[in-house]
Amino acid sequence: MKSHKLSILLVSGLAIAAAAACGTDDSGNSGDKASAAPGSAGPVSISVNCEPPKTNKAERATFEEDLAAFQKLNPNIKVSKVTDAFPCYDPRTFEPKLASGELETVFYVNFPNVGRLIESGQAADLTPYVNELKTFADYNSSIDLFKKDGKIYGLPTDGYGMGLVYNKEVFTKAGLDPNNPPKTWADVQAAAKKIAGLGPGYVGYGEYSGNNVGGWHFTASIYGRGGSVITDDGKKAAFNTPEGTAVLENLHQMRWADNSMGSQLYIDWPALMKAMAGGKMGMMLGAPDVLISLRNDFGGKFENYAITAQPEAKALFNGGAGYMINPKATPEQIRAGLKWIEYKFLTPGKGQFDYARAKGANLTVGQPYPDLYGSDTPSGQAVNDLRKANANIDASQFAGWVEGSKGIPPKAEPGPYAQEIYKILDTPMSAVLTRKDANIDQLLSDAESKVNSLLASKG
């Protein structure tokens, strides 16, 4: 989930975009199929998504400011439709638009979906165009996720590994040392019991259980324990193992023996975030951007939160997001879309890297991400210099995660059908949190059979 911003400049340029955002483009097509003919130097029309919601005033303002500045800088590019969304990937809206071919010209994609969109031909081949981007050569290995068979199908704009997010104030109330967060799962379990012991409403540890995010967190957890979700060749399930059992047993123990997880189910991504921001939850798995979203999107008291390394992690789930372009786009629309991505997300001093503006808008500056460029590249050095010069947060809130995650290898999503696998894995996650008599061996075995059938059906 990303940052964005505003200004008064927009009034004219944005009025057009905002009006169009609620409906269709001039051609009547939400996907901007009508635009300049291939090879023409005339005006081109594109649509974009992932504008921050109205409730996130500061980031929405910067997004709109960037949109106006971009169009002023590129008068031949008309951003005719802007869609806001929160979160930027919501399967309830994304999947129907994907199925009907109505995704925007430039659309947000989280890492779990990248592989399947490439496999299914639902992202444009950007290979002939990417070298026109000034910063492309400086990308770190995060770009590899968007490559297949030597071609490039998207651009990462964010990336990070998982960690353990915790509430320092709740730790202190429970008699725990917020400067010495849990380093093992036994530590997590002990800390969760103390937090839950504070009284009604307090939850020691929160976890997802549905809408694909349950399976997503199961994957992050089993990766941390050294396991996998599918085999290296992608043809079989690989989670019915001691590592998979340990993930579920740990949750079952905390939920039913320790009573440290509360009774509420957190099915959607916002549900757990809202609970964490409420100030009575002690810990959850999450990436470092969780701290920013707790502050900007859920009203959490930012200074109360910190992130440390995922306990006992042997591998870190490689999370993040980027942008792809609708395969129906013309070459001119692809070039225009790439220009928007470059301006908004990739240029030091502009868009998400305009740290001076972010600081002035009371947005956080100094968090150790996004990490897009090699540290010794011109773009990497420029971003780091700007970040340090404008930092307005206590870097110690992220220090445990930065130091503790060093040397832990990243591990990618479980193949192009990750979302379908996550949906299957929601079931065992939900079961151990709702049924005291949950049979973990049977749950894993059933899920294994379903994933094997899924993978077999895909060939």
pLDDT tens per residue across span 419-451: 899 999 999 999 999 999 999 999 999 999 999
Q: Quick check: 151 and 125 in contact, CB under 8 A?
A: yes
Q: How far apart are CA 145 and CA 154, in angstroms?
A: 9
Tell me the per-residue pLDDT of 136-168, one tens digit each, with 9 for 90 and over. 999 988 898 899 999 999 999 998 789 999 999
Q: Quick check: 23 and 33 in contact, CB under 8 A?
A: no
Q: Quick check: 48 and 106 in contact, CB under 8 A?
A: yes
Q: DSSP secondary structure string, 44-103?
A: EEEEEEEEPPTTSHHHHHHHHHHHHHHHHH-TTEEEEEEEE-SSS--HHHHHHHHHHT--
Report the pLDDT value the prediction gives residue 1, as an integer from 0 to 100: 37
Report the pLDDT value the prediction gives residue 368, as an integer from 0 to 100: 86
What parts of the chain have a pLDDT lower than 70? Answer: 1-41
In degrees, to the nearest 5, what angle opens at C-alpha 51 toward C-alphas 47 and 54?
Answer: 135
Q: What is the pTM of this model?
A: 0.73
Q: Quick check: 65 and 6 in contact, CB under 8 A?
A: yes
Report the pLDDT value the prediction gives residue 417, as an integer from 0 to 100: 85
How far is residue 326 from each of residues 76, 161, 222, measured CA to CA in Å? 20, 28, 33
State which amino acid sits at residue 152: I
Report the pLDDT value the prediction gives residue 319, as an integer from 0 to 100: 75
Beta-sheet pairing, 77-84 with 155-161: unpaired
Report the pLDDT value the prediction gives residue 96, as an integer from 0 to 100: 87
Beta-sheet pairing, 106-110 with 155-161: unpaired
At 247, list the tokens: 């993930």
Coil, strand or helix at 315:
coil
Report the pLDDT value the prediction gives residue 361, as an integer from 0 to 100: 87
Backbone phi, psi, residue 371, to 5°: -110, 90
